[in-house]
Chain A
Amino acid sequence: KAGVTQTPRYLIKTRGQQVTLSCSPISGHRSVSWYQQTPGQGLQFLFEYFSETQRNKGNFPGRFSGRQFSNSRSEMNVSTLELGDSALYLCASSVPGQHYGYTFGSGTRLTVV
């Protein structure tokens, strides 16, 4: 069974631009979450989607947004990029419920210059 697929793997953007990252969950997984990983802040929760609805959102500015489509694929968007947005962005999918854990993709490495 295919894993969680994130595209692109690497991205270089300029300050002020916007970026869209994509995540395809494991087939049958309807819950998709996004995390930001940086050396300074570690792993931080961005948001979670289930059945096209955002169920939970982390403490990030409104420049960070996301959505989920009817096939459970998800995208996240960051507008007006700042240097501090440089990070590894990880997507994870799961069957709903706390007992199952999340399966992560390999991530998108975003570099803002």
Chain B
Amino acid sequence: GNSVTQMEGPVTLSEEAFLTINCTYTATGYPSLFWYVQYPGEGLQLLLKATKADDKGSNKGFEATYRKETTSFHLEKGSVQVSDSAVYFCALITGGFYGGATNKLIFGTGTLLAVQP
């Protein structure tokens, strides 16, 4: 079945350090891939997405490239800030453009990022 695997946390970095959070997936068909972020006490916010191979999603300095050959969608940021401290979830969805029977998000377990000043 479809699944997402992301690196275990927590990831602790100093401000301005480089961030990588690894994410790999298993899916039938051609999934769309997402990164969501959850701040304490909040719901999930869509951070970025990519809908086909070689697409690069980007937002707020974060980037991730859809790599079909390695089934990966690693999240990167060149210089993290204390305000980036949160839990990051990698997710995929399949189901076709008009929706379908499997049109649901499959999430990884989440990676806690703690950025220290």
> Which residues of A are at the interface with B, using a C-beta cutoff of 8 A?
4, 6, 31, 33, 35, 42-43, 45, 48, 50, 55-56, 58, 90, 92, 96-99, 101-107
Contact = CB atoms under 8 A, between A and B. Distances in A.
A98 B106 CA distance: 12
Contacts of A107: 42-43
9 contacts: A42-B108, A56-B104, A92-B44, A97-B103, A98-B32, A102-B105, A104-B46, A106-B42, A107-B43
Residue of B31, B34, B44, B95 with most partner-chain A CB within 10 A: B44
Interface in B68-102: 89, 93-102
Nearest to A9: B41
Nearest to A31: B99
B44 A98 contact: no
A60 B24 CA distance: 26
A96 B98 contact: yes
Chain A interface main SS type: strand
Contacts of A99: 32, 49, 51, 97
B25 interface: no
B67 to A, nearest CB: 18
Given A43-B89, A48-B104, A97 B96 contact: yes
Given A90-B44, A102-B46, A107-B43, A33 B105 contact: yes
Contacts of B46: 101-104
B66 interface: no
Contact of B32 (A33, A48, A58, A101): A101
A58 B28 CA distance: 18
Nearest to A109: B41
A103 B42 CA distance: 13
B43 A45 contact: no
A23 to B, nearest CB: 11
Contacts of A42: 107-110
